């Protein structure tokens, strides 16, 4: 009945999954940033209040949609049980 100092295999897999997910998010963020930096200056977008609101409100709205979609997915509800 000794206490193991090493983490269990399942916790190592969970950490690996989280690290893979975080890496994907960082890579996607870098691709989006590079696209904005290189492509956005060439687009003829007028400096209006409407365009500013669209630019500011789109990312949070996309995040809300993704989180709601995830919370309603069948795999999410199966994990919580």
How far is Cα of residue 67 from the mean position of the Cα atoms in its chain? 10
**7 Cβ contact list (under 8 Å, min separation 6):** 15
pLDDT at 80 over 80: no
Q: What is the pLDDT of residues 63-78, one digit of tens each?
A: 999 999 988 888 755 5
pLDDT of amino acid 72 = 87
Q: What is the pLDDT of residues 40-58, one digit of tens each?
A: 889 899 999 999 999 999 9
Three-state SS annotation for 19-65: HHHHHHHHHHHHHHHHHHHHHHHHCCCCCCHHHHHHHHHHHHHHHHH
């Amino acid at each position: 009945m000794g206490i193991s100092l090493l983490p269990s295999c399942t916790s190592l897999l969970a950490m690996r999954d989280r690290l893979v997910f975080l890496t994907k998010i960082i890579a996607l963020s870098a691709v989006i940033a590079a696209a904005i930096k290189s492509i956005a200056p060439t687009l003829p977008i007028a400096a209006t209040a409407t365009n500013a609101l669209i630019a500011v409100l789109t990312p949070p709205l996309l995040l809300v949609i993704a989180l709601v979609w995830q919370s309603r997915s069948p795999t999410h509800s199966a994990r919580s049980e």
